[in-house]
Each structure stands twice: as C-alpha cells, then as structure tokens.
Amino acid sequence: MERVCFILQVKKDRLAEYRERHRAVWPEMLEALRETGWTNYSLFLREDGLLVGYLETPDFEAARRGMASREVNQRWQRQMADFFELDGEHADRSMKRLDEVFHLD
C-alpha cells in the first residue's frame, strides 16, 4: 500500500468557500474515489491556503488515471479549478507529491 502526501495552494480569498464545498462532496464523487482506490483520504487546509492531502492506495498512478477517466471527476475539477493557484492544469494534475522520509511502523 502506498502512502501518498501532496500539497496544493488554495487562493486565500477562497478558503471559506473551499471548506464549505468539502462539507458536501457529491456522493458520486465519493463513490468514484473509493472505486479507484483512494482510501484513508484526507485534506488539511492551513490559513495561508496551503492544502495538504494524504491517502493510501495500492497504486497511486493507477488511482489518478482511474479518477481522470471519470466524468464526475472532470466536472468536479472544472468547478474547483478557480480555487487553486495553478499553472493552467487542473488540481488533480498539479499535486506536488512529497517524499516520505519516516514512517513509525
């Protein structure tokens, strides 16, 4: 099982709405995440907009490809794109993965 941690940057003026959107993630989006192998998935948001994501999956690249092929993910990414400081990519393609340097177990 891969443990994956990534970062993105949410625009400071969109933090409240970003939090609100994640209180009501579409059921079909949640289902797609589960079906494509995104388990123990969490997002953490700092007040300056730093977003830290964590998940566990058997194969992260396969999980990303699986989500990229889902129509619900394409809709979600279009609606969420303006929340992030991005270089022309959707957030799901702009994640900056962090290297794991320690794990207790």
51-66 pLDDT, tens digit each: 999 999 999 999 999 9
For residue 57, the cross-strand partners are 2
Distance CA 80, CA 105 (A): 35
The model's confidence at residue 86, banded by pLDDT at 50, 70 and 90, is: confident
Tens of pLDDT along 13-47? 999 999 999 999 999 999 999 999 999 999 999 99
The model's confidence at residue 91, banded by pLDDT at 50, 70 and 90, is: confident
Task: State pTM to two decimals.
Answer: 0.90
Task: Considering the candidates 3, 12, 19, 22, report the single residue annotated as catalytic.
Answer: 22
Domains of the chain: 2-97 (3.30.70.100)
Q: Catalytic annotation on 22?
A: yes
Strand segments (E) across 1-105: 2-9, 39-45, 50-57, 96-97
Cα–Cα distances (Å) from 37 to 4, 50, 59, 99, in that order, read 12, 24, 8, 20
